[in-house]
């Protein structure tokens, strides 16, 4: 059961990372503009981060889907989402109107609100759950339970 | 106390294998950087690695050279003296409605294509346009400025530090938040 939950979670979370990366990889310029609107990065780093972040999402997403280094990638994914949440929150806290960049680079989308942070929060939850499921103690417990079952 | 803390940390590391995973995380992080650079080299919308002279993503250098900058106080004086200048707020419409520089009109970056026709019908091309956005780096102002220059507005000025600079300078504001 735990194994099935782990596989389903991996496919969902990995798929969301790939979906989130798609538009940013296609439109790096628009993503760079969005990153600049967060007003959290030095101007000289904006383009480099705009090229790097989507690829990080691609690799984490693919690795979770195929099951490669799941614990490490789940931890990295949750850290990545936590950074996004902090970035959005600091902009919202300063009253800056953001139109995200998390799943789309289109400037016509809805403005971000505090409530809309649940999307990233859910992904953090999924990554943390995957990470915890891969703890050695949890795995050995799961295997032991499995063996004990008739 | 320190021993118990380091003991707890050791137990946490042993339980989660976080130290073992750290080198994997480093490999993934650097692989993403290399892959990003490799894809960018062949991407049809390839980005320069540094922002060069324009210092803003998405702003062509030929346009950037035509833009001018001023501070909030000077922008206020230009608009107040009626020097054929118009203060333009490029923030979201809801933020404009709540609070904006007195005398400013709204031309939101998010929804520019929707609002521009009305703006263009009211504002002649020779008008001096004083643009401000939210904060310090004026990315939205620069992008709206680019679009206005491309549409024929020749005298476009960006107000440094945006609305934050406007309020910090104690300049007059209007809007729902200030109506009472």
Which pLDDT tens digit goes with each residue over A62-88?
A: 999 999 999 999 999 999 999 989 988
pLDDT value of position B153: 93
The residue in chain A having the minimum alpha-carbon distance to the alpha carbon of residue B143 is A33
Report residue B133 as tokens.
């956005």
pLDDT value of position A16: 93
Per-domain boundaries in chain A? 2-148
Q: Best interface-test mutation with B: which of A62, A97, A131, A134 has the largest number of B CBs within 10 A?
A: A97
Higher pLDDT: A44 or B76? It is B76
pLDDT higher than threshold 80 for residue B23: yes
pLDDT confidence of B58, banded at 50, 70, 90?
low
Strands B105-106 and B85-89: parallel
pLDDT value of position A119: 83
Using CA atoms, how far apart are residues B154 and B128, in angstroms rounded to an integer? 8
pLDDT value of position B21: 87
| Alpha-carbon distance A116 to nearest alpha carbon in chain B (angstroms) | 17
Each residue's pLDDT tens digit, A133-146: 887 765 555 555 55
Q: Best interface-test mutation with A: which of B45, B92, B96, B110 has the largest number of A CBs within 10 A?
A: B110
Q: Is A54 within 8 Å of chain B by CB? A: yes
- Of the listed ranges A43-47, A82-86, B30-34, B122-126, the least confidently predicted one is A43-47
Question: CATH for B61-178, among 3.40.250.10, 2.30.40.10, 3.40.50.2000, 3.30.420.40?
Answer: 3.40.250.10
| Alpha-carbon distance B77 to nearest alpha carbon in chain A (angstroms) | 25
| Alpha-carbon distance A15 to nearest alpha carbon in chain B (angstroms) | 17
The residue in chain B having the minimum alpha-carbon distance to the alpha carbon of residue A130 is B16
Q: Is A128 within 8 Å of chain B by CB? A: no
Q: What is the DSSP letter of A1?
A: -
| Mean local confidence (pLDDT), B126-137 | 87
Contacts of B57 in chain A (CB under 8 A): 29, 32-33, 35-36, 46-47, 50
Using CA atoms, how far apart are residues A115 and A117, in angstroms rounded to an integer? 5
Q: What does pTM read for this prediction?
A: 0.78
Per-domain boundaries in chain B? 2-42, 61-178
| Alpha-carbon distance B19 to nearest alpha carbon in chain A (angstroms) | 10
| Mean local confidence (pLDDT), B17-41 | 93
- pLDDT per residue of chain A (150 residues) written in tens, 0 to 9: 778 888 999 999 999 999 999 999 998 888 888 888 887 888 888 889 999 999 999 999 999 999 999 999 999 999 999 998 998 888 888 877 777 667 777 766 677 778 778 888 888 999 999 888 887 765 555 555 556 555
pLDDT confidence of B171, banded at 50, 70, 90?
very high
Using CA atoms, how far apart are residues B89 and A31, in angstroms rounded to an integer? 23
User: Is the Cβ pair A97, B134 closer than 8 Å?
Assistant: yes
**Residues paired with residue B128 on neighbouring β-strands, in sequence order:** B85
Q: Are B100 and B106 in contact (CB under 8 A)?
A: yes
Q: Are A98 and A88 in contact (CB under 8 A)?
A: yes
């Amino acid at each position: 059961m735990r194994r099935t939950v782990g596989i389903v979670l991996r496919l969902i979370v990995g798929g969301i990372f790939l979906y989130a990366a798609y538009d940013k990889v296609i439109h790096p310029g628009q993503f760079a503009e969005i990153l600049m609107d967060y007003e959290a990065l030095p101007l000289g780093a904006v383009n480099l981060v705009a090229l790097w972040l989507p690829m990080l999402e691609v690799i984490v997403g693919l690795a979770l889907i195929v099951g490669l280094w799941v614990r490490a990638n789940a931890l990295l994914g949750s850290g990545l989402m936590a950074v996004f949440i902090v970035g959005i929150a600091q902009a919202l806290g300063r009253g800056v109107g953001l139109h995200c960049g998390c799943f789309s680079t289109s400037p016509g989308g809805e403005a971000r609100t505090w409530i809309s942070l649940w999307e990233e929060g859910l992904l953090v939850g999924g990554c943390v759950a995957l990470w915890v499921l891969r703890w050695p103690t949890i795995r050995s417990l799961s295997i032991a339970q499995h063996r004990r079952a008739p | 106390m320190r021993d118990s803390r380091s003991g707890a940390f050791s137990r946490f590391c042993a339980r989660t294998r976080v130290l073992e995973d750290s080198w994997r995380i480093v490999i993934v992080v650097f692989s993403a950087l290399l892959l990003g650079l490799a894809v960018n080299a062949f991407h049809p919308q390839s980005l320069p690695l540094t922002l060069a002279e324009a210092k803003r993503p998405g702003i062509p250098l030929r346009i950037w050279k035509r833009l001018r900058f001023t501070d909030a106080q000077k922008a206020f004086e230009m608009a107040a003296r009626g020097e054929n200048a118009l203060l333009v707020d490029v923030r979201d419409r809801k933020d404009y409605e709540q609070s904006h520089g007195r005398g400013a009109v709204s031309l939101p970056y998010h929804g520019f294509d929707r609002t521009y026709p009305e703006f263009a019908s009211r504002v002649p091309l020779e008008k001096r346009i004083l643009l401000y956005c939210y904060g310090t780096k004026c990315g939205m102002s620069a992008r709206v400025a680019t679009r206005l220059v491309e549409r024929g507005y020749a005298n476009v000025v960006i107000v440094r530090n945006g609305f934050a600079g406007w309020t910090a300078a104690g300049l007059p504001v209007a809007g729902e938040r200030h109506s009472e």
